[in-house]
Structure 1
Amino acid sequence: APVSFCEEGEESEGCKSLIELFVNRLDSVESVLPYEYDAFDFCQDTEEKRPSENLGQVLFGERIASSPYKFTFKKQEKCKKVCTRSYDPGNSADKSKLAFLKKGMQLNYQHHWIIDNMPVTWCYDVEDGQKYCNPGFPVGCFVTPDGRVKDACVINSEFNKKNTFYLFNHVDITIMYHSGKDENWPGARLVMARLRPQSYKHTDENNLSCEGPPMEIPGEFTNKLNLIYTYSVTFEEKNNIKWASRWDYILESMPHTNIQWFSIMNSLVIVLFLSGMVAMIILRTLHKDIARYNQIDSSEDAQEEFGWKLVHGDVFRPPRKGMLLSVFLGQGTQIFIMTFITL
C-alpha cells in the first residue's frame, strides 16, 4: 500500500517521518550460494524485525530483514556513523569473520537494499553513453596479487594495490520524493532511491569527514583492523515522476536483448518434424492393428486381445479407489492454479 511521509513533528495517522531501510539476501553471479545479511559481519539492527513476505518472495529465496540505517524525512545527514567492527589477528573468531568478508568481496557478492518496497539502485554509465541502474551494489572488490583489478575496483584509480581488498564501508544515499502537489494524498511519497558506494579509511571515529584514502584490507591479516561503517543521505523533490511509474527508470535502464528469430524458427521446425515422425509411426501401427482386427473370424480369436486393444482396456478400466483419486486430483489442480495466480 502507498505510504506518505511528512517532516518530523508533522506526523499524523496517514503520514510518518521515519524511513526504514531493509536489507535482503546477498548473492553473486560467481557463486550459486546466497547468504543472509547477518551471515556477514555487517552492522546489525538492535531491534531486528522481519516484514511479512509474500509467496513469490519466499519461493525466490528473498530474506528481508531490518537494518540500522534509519532516516528522518527531509533531514539531511552527512557522514553519520552506523557502527564499528574490530578484528584482532589473535582471535580465531575475528579471523573467521574477516576471512568470510574477504571471500564475499572476492566473489563479488552484492547487497540488495529496500526503501518503501522499492530497491535502492546504484546507477552508473555504461557503453554508448547510457546509464544502467543496478538494484544491488557490491560489498567490496579485490585486486589480485598480480595486480589485476577485478569487478568494481575499476571505478576508482586508487584501488590499485596488489593483493588488497577494498571495502565499500560508506554509501551516499539520495532519496527522491513527490511532494504531493496536485495529488489527493497527504504528505509526500518516495519515488526513487539511489546510492553510490564509497570506500574511506576513517582514522578517528569521533571526527568523521568521509574523505581521504580508501579502506584497504590487506590479503595477509597480521595487524588489528577497525572497520567504520558510515552513510550520508540527501533528499530531492521530483514532482515530474509519478508514484505509479516510479519503477520505470529501472526497467528502462535494463539491457534489451534482441529476439533470436532464427533460433525460434529452427526449434519450431525440429518440433514439427519430430511430431510428424511420431504421427506416422502411430498411424502405421494403428493401421496394422485395425487390419488384423478385421481379419478375425473365429470367436476364440476375438476373445484374445492384442495391440491397441490392450491399451484401451488399461485406459478405460475404473480405478480401485476412484473417490480418493478424484479428491487428490481436485486438490492438486487447485493448489497448482493458486500457485500460478499468486506468482
Structure 2
Amino acid sequence: MNALGALAAFAAASSLFCGATAARHSYAEGDKVKLWANVVGPFSNPSVTYQYYERLPFCQPLDGLVHKPATLGELVDGNRLVLTPYDIAFQQNRERVTLCSKALTRREVQQFQAAIRDDFYFQMVLDDSLPMWGFVGKLEKVAPATPAEKETHRISLFTHMHFDIAYNLDRVIEVNVSTDSSRTVDISEDVTPNTEDGTIRAEFTYSVVWSPTDIPYAQRMEKYRRVQFLPQHLEIHWFSIINSCVTVLLLTGFLATILLRVLRNDFLRFSRDEDAMEDAEESGWKYCHGDVFRFPPNHNLFCALIGTGTQLFFLGIFIFLLSCVGAFAPYSRGSMYTALIVLYALTAGIAGYTAGSYYRQMGGTAWVRNTLLTCVVFCGPFFIAFCINNTIAIAYGSTAAFPFGTICIIAVIWALVTLPLTILGCIIGKNTRTDFKAPCRTTKYPREVPDLPWYRSALPQMLGAGFLPFSAIYIELYYIFASVWGHKIYTIYPILFIVFIILLIVTAFICVAMTYFQLAAEDHRWWWRSFFCGGSTGLFVYAYSIYFYFQRSDMSGLMQSCFFFGYVACVCLGFFIMLGTVGWRASLLFVRHIYKAIKCE
C-alpha cells in the first residue's frame, strides 16, 4: 500500500509540476487570453526546431519579448514559449485586425524563402495548454510557358491567420488556427519589389471567431486523442495484440509439448539404476552439473548490467503505470521527460542493490569498480551521445540544445540523487544478501566444452532468440516511432502496456528454450549467452529504426540524423540491458529448477 500511495502521489506531483493539468483559467468577457508562440521548424525533421522570433522575422511585440517560465521537462523537450502580440479578448470576435505592416528586406525575404522551401511549420499555445499548428507558406510549381523554359516555383508567404476558439461558460475549450491561401505575399526569386526602397511590403493580419460548446473543461484535451481512436487505428492496434498473443501461445505450446516432453524423458533416463548407467556414455545437460553454476567471466560487468537492467525494468513499469492512470496528458510539454529523469534518479538504489548483492554472491572484492560500473554502464554511452547531439544542436541554434542551467540541474540530480542512491543500494546489497545457493556443487576445474556446429554459436542463437520477441512488437513500433520522431500523438498506453508484458513473456520463454538447447549440448557457458539472447531484441529494434528512417519517414540532414540514430541507439541499449536481464533471470530460474529435480553427484 505504501508503494501504491507513493506512486499515486508522484503521479499527482508530476501532473502539477509538468503542466499535465494546466491551471484552470477562467475569464470574464473582454479579458485578454494569452497566445504563446513556441517553435518553428521543418515539418519532416521534428528534432530541428528553432525559437519563433529568432529564426523568422515575424511581427514582434512592441514592449519586447516575454518568455514563459519553463519546467525541466519543457526545456528537455525543446519548448520555448514567448508571448505574441495577438490581441485575443474572451468571447469577442475580430475581423481582419492588422498585426503589423512590415517592409521585408532582401535578407528577411531569403529567410522566409528558405523556410517555405523546407516546409516550415509553427506551433502556438493558447491558454497555456491548447496547442495549434500551421505552415509559414506554400511552394507551388509553375508550369513553363514554352517547352524551352525551365519549371519554376512560386513561393507564397501566408500573412493572415484565423483563430476559431470554442468556449464553455468562462473557460476556453478548443482552438484551431488556419491560414488563408488567398491572402499571401509573393516572395518568389523573380518577384519585383513593391516599394521604392527595394523591399517587399507585407501586411500581417488575423481574425478571431468565438463559438460556444458543450464540451466540459475536463475533456478539452480529448480532441488530441480522437485520431488514435479511429476504427481503423484501433483495428491495427488490436491486430498487433492478437498477433502477439498468437506468438505467445505458439511459443508456450512449443515449450509445453516439446521442451517439457524432452525434459520428462531426460528425468526418466537420469533416474535409472546407477548400475545400468555405468556403461552408458555420459551425455546431456545433467553431466555438466559441475559447471553450470560456475560464475561467468567478467562478473563485475555482468552484475552491473543485471543491476542496471533491473532498474530499467522497474522504471518502465512505473512509467507505464503513470501513463495508464492519466499522468501524461496529450501535448503536456515534457511531462514524461520529467518523470523519466526523476524516476531514473529515484530507482538508482534498485540498480545498486541488485548489482551489489549478486557481486557479493560471486565473491567479488572490487566494490568501488562495481559501483562505478553500475552508475555508468547505461549513463556513460547516453552521456556521450548527448554531448555530440547537444553540440550539433548548439551549432544549428536549435531549441533542442539544452540550456546550460538545464544541464546543471540534471548533473546535480545525478550527483546528489542517482550516485548516492546507487552507492547506498550497493552497500545494502553487499551486507544483507546471503550466499549463492546452487543445487549442485561446482567442480574445481571446468569441463571441456565439445565442438559445436556453427548454428549453436552465440550470434546465430542471438538472432534466433531476438526475432520472435521482435515479431510480437514490430507492428506497434511504427506508431511509437511516428509519435516520438514525428507529429503524431500516442495515447493508447494500456494497449502498449499489454504489448510490453507480452514482450517480457516471449523473451523469458525463448531464453529458457535457448538455454536448454545449449545445456543439452553440454555447453555450460549459459550466463552471458542468456543475457545476450534476451537483449538481442534491441538489435532488431535498431535495425527497424534504420528501415523507418530511410523508408517510412522524410527525415534528413546532419542534426536530425545524429539525433535519431544517436538517441535510438541509447534506447535500444536500454532495451538490450533490460531484456537481457529478463532473459537471464528466467534462465536462472529454469536452470535451478531442472537441477533440483535430479540427483547430482
Shorter-chain TM-score above 0.5: yes
Tell me, yes or no, if the aligned pair for 2:153 and 2:188 is still in contact at 8 Å.
yes
Partner Cα distance (2:257, 2:33) in 1: 66
Q: 1:172: which partner in 2?
A: 162
Partner Cα distance (1:198, 1:189) in 2: 27
Q: 2:70: which partner in 1?
A: 52
Tell me, yes or no, if the aligned pair for 1:40 and 1:100 is still in contact at 8 Å.
no
Partner Cα distance (2:305, 2:86) in 1: 53
Q: 1:245: which partner in 2?
A: 219
Deviation at 1:49, TM superposition (A): 0.5
1:240/1:102 CA distance change after superposition, 3 Å: closer
* Structure with the larger strand share: 1
Q: 2:204: which partner in 1?
A: 229
1:175/1:306 CA distance change after superposition, 3 Å: same
Tell me, yes or no, if the aligned pair for 1:112 and 1:119 is still in contact at 8 Å.
no
Q: 1:124: which partner in 2?
A: none
Deviation at 1:246, TM superposition (A): 2.8
1:84/1:51 CA distance change after superposition, 3 Å: farther
Deviation at 1:42, TM superposition (A): 2.4
For the pair 1:116 / 2:154, whether they are aligned, the reply is no
Q: 1:256: which partner in 2?
A: 230
Q: 2:137: which partner in 1?
A: 140
For the pair 1:192 / 2:174, whether they are aligned, the reply is yes
TM-score (norm 1): 0.60
1:102/1:240 CA distance change after superposition, 3 Å: closer
SS across alignment from 2:215? coil
Question: Once the two structures are superposed, what CA deviation does each residue of 1:98-121 show, in whole Å capped at 9, x if it has no partner?
Answer: 3322224xx3x333222114435x
SS across alignment from 1:18? coil
Partner Cα distance (1:71, 1:251) in 2: 26
Tell me, yes or no, if the aligned pair for 2:93 and 2:208 is still in contact at 8 Å.
yes
Partner Cα distance (1:61, 1:198) in 2: 29
Tell me, yes or no, if the aligned pair for 1:84 and 1:227 is still in contact at 8 Å.
yes
Q: 1:215: which partner in 2?
A: 185
Q: 2:288: which partner in 1?
A: 307
SS across alignment from 1:310? coil
Tell me, yes or no, if the aligned pair for 2:49 and 2:78 is still in contact at 8 Å.
no
Tell me, yes or no, if the aligned pair for 2:104 and 2:200 is still in contact at 8 Å.
yes
Q: 2:39: which partner in 1?
A: 25
Match of 2:82 among 65, 75, 94: 65
Q: 2:98: which partner in 1?
A: 81
SS across alignment from 1:97? helix
Partner Cα distance (2:307, 2:156) in 1: 59
CA root-mean-square deviation: 4.6
* Structure with the larger helix share: 2
Tell me, yes or no, if the aligned pair for 2:56 and 2:108 is still in contact at 8 Å.
no
Question: Once the two structures are superposed, what CA deviation does each residue of 1:137-193 show, in whole Å capped at 9, x if it has no partner?
Answer: 22222211338xxxxxxxxxxxxx9621222211122333233xxxxxxxx211222
Partner Cα distance (2:37, 2:318) in 1: 29
Partner Cα distance (1:44, 1:288) in 2: 80
Partner Cα distance (2:34, 2:262) in 1: 69
What is the percent sequence identity of the aligned residues? Answer: 21
SS across alignment from 1:112? strand
1:25/1:287 CA distance change after superposition, 3 Å: farther
Q: Which amino acid aligns with 1:42?
A: F
Partner Cα distance (1:255, 1:144) in 2: 36
Question: Once the two structures are superposed, what CA deviation does each residue of 1:200-230 show, in whole Å capped at 9, x if it has no partner?
Answer: 65xxxxxxxxxxxx42222436643233322
Structure 1 spans left out of the alignment, 5+ residues: 9-16, 121-134, 148-160, 180-187, 202-213
Structure 2 spans left out of the alignment, 5+ residues: 1-22, 145-150, 194-198, 328-335, 337-601
Tell me, yes or no, if the aligned pair for 2:35 and 2:125 is still in contact at 8 Å.
yes
1:65/1:88 CA distance change after superposition, 3 Å: closer
Q: Which amino acid aligns with 1:5?
A: Y
1:244/1:286 CA distance change after superposition, 3 Å: same
Partner Cα distance (2:256, 2:79) in 1: 46
Partner Cα distance (1:277, 1:330) in 2: 28
Deviation at 1:327, TM superposition (A): 8.4
Tell me, yes or no, if the aligned pair for 1:167 and 1:199 is still in contact at 8 Å.
no
Q: Which amino acid aligns with 2:163?
A: I
For the pair 1:3 / 2:25, whether they are aligned, the reply is yes
Deviation at 1:335, TM superposition (A): 5.3
Deviation at 1:95, TM superposition (A): 5.5
Partner Cα distance (1:324, 1:266) in 2: 35
Match of 2:116 among 102, 115, 126: 102
TM-score (norm 2): 0.37
Q: Which amino acid aligns with 1:47?
A: L
Deviation at 1:20, TM superposition (A): 0.7
SS across alignment from 1:144? strand
Partner Cα distance (1:251, 1:336) in 2: 22
1:227/1:35 CA distance change after superposition, 3 Å: farther
Tell me, yes or no, if the aligned pair for 2:67 and 2:80 is still in contact at 8 Å.
no
Q: Which amino acid aligns with 2:34?
A: E
1:29/1:47 CA distance change after superposition, 3 Å: closer
